[in-house]
Chain A
Amino acid sequence: MSVVTVERKILKKNDEIAGENRMIFRNHHLFTLNMLSSPGSGKTTLLEKTLAQLPKEIKCAVIEGDVQTDNDARRIEKYQVPVVQIVTNGGCHLEAKLIQDALDNFKLQDLNLLIIENVGNLVCPANYDLGEDKKIVLVSTTEGDDKPLKYPSMFRVSDVLVINKIDLLPYVDFSLEQVRKNALQINPDLEVFEVSCRTGEGLENWMKWLVTATRGR
């Protein structure tokens, strides 16, 4: 028997392509978001509200990742932004190569902002860098406030936490204070927004952050 030393990162290939994507985004002054959450937290709804409120001069494109159907892309098309649907056919996350291939569909020089909506899953997408500037993780008040403790990796790698559906707080056993505490214990640098996509409450702070970050690019 003999031992062969390998010492290689398993996702090296993905990381390399993500690095290429990052260069492409930089060269086009494109600010890029990767939106992550469990299914049903409100990623697509936050995206719709965001597109509706974006200032005219910010040109945005969207990549939708789903296991099946192009329902989300159809929802986004109504906002007259370029959108590409990636159907992963069972795959539980997006990979950097899929994003790179999807970029061929856009005129990158005309864009300022690219929003990628990942597959609804709080586990695997945490491992796959897409080359984005910021990872946004959503949690809604109809889920448990211990979500960050159950999926620590996702909260550690994210830059922004959006707590959605705060209009439902009177009806659910969800503590804003507790979810903040749990998330910040894992990642003290998280920027936190509390919103209701349904009533619009809190969205102005999120929009302010997004517009400032996009213009800064």
Chain B
Amino acid sequence: MSIAQNIVSIVDETLAGEKYQRLREVVVDVGELVAVVPESLEFCYMVITEKTKFQDSKLTIRVLPLVGKCRKCQAESKVERFDFVCAKCQARDLEIIQGEELHISHLEVD
């Protein structure tokens, strides 16, 4: 709920100086490792925007898979089932390069 509230207030701030008729869509990137359930975030967004100027706008959540970069061999590989191991050299020394995002990418307005 708190995340949905943060989204709405950022959208509101962003659109404050813009000329637009209607907010159509908010596109959010959520990393696989972030503790967010897309369905419940969508539901919270719907509840919060109901009967406001953002009513009927759509929240689109793009889930970004976990990708790590090995500190030993520099290879980049997808992290499967949260097992943080390098797919190439098997080292357990991965830096996360994707999968921790929680940000608003862009908005679509009419």
Task: Tell me what chain B mostly uses at the interface: helix, strand, loop, or mixed.
Answer: mixed
Q: Taking beta carbons and an 8 Å cutoff, which residues of B are in contact with A?
A: 2-3, 6-7, 10-11, 14-15, 18, 20, 24, 28, 33-36, 81-85, 92-93, 102-110
Known: A149-B82, A153-B33, A188-B93. A6 touches B102 (CB 8 A): no
Let me know if A123 is at the binding interface, CB within 8 A: yes
Q: How many residues of A contact B (CB 8 A)?
A: 30
Nearest first, the 10 closest Cβ-Cβ pairs linking A and B are: A152-B82, A153-B35, A6-B104, A4-B107, A123-B35, A126-B35, A188-B92, A9-B103, A10-B6, A5-B106
Q: Please list the residues of chain A having a beta carbon within 8 angstroms of any beta carbon in chain B.
A: 1-11, 13-14, 91, 93, 95, 123-124, 126-127, 149, 151-154, 156, 185-188
Closest chain A CB from B107 CB (angstroms): 4
Please judge, given known A-B contacts A3-B107, A152-B33, A153-B34, whether A8 and B3 are in contact too, CB under 8 Å: no
State the majority secondary structure of interface residues on A.
mixed
User: Are A6 and B14 touching (Cβ within 8 A)?
Assistant: yes
Closest A residue, CB atoms, query B101: A9
17 pairs, CB–CB < 8 Å, chain A vs chain B: A1-B108, A3-B106, A4-B109, A6-B11, A6-B106, A7-B104, A7-B105, A7-B106, A8-B104, A10-B6, A10-B10, A11-B3, A151-B35, A153-B33, A153-B34, A153-B35, A185-B83
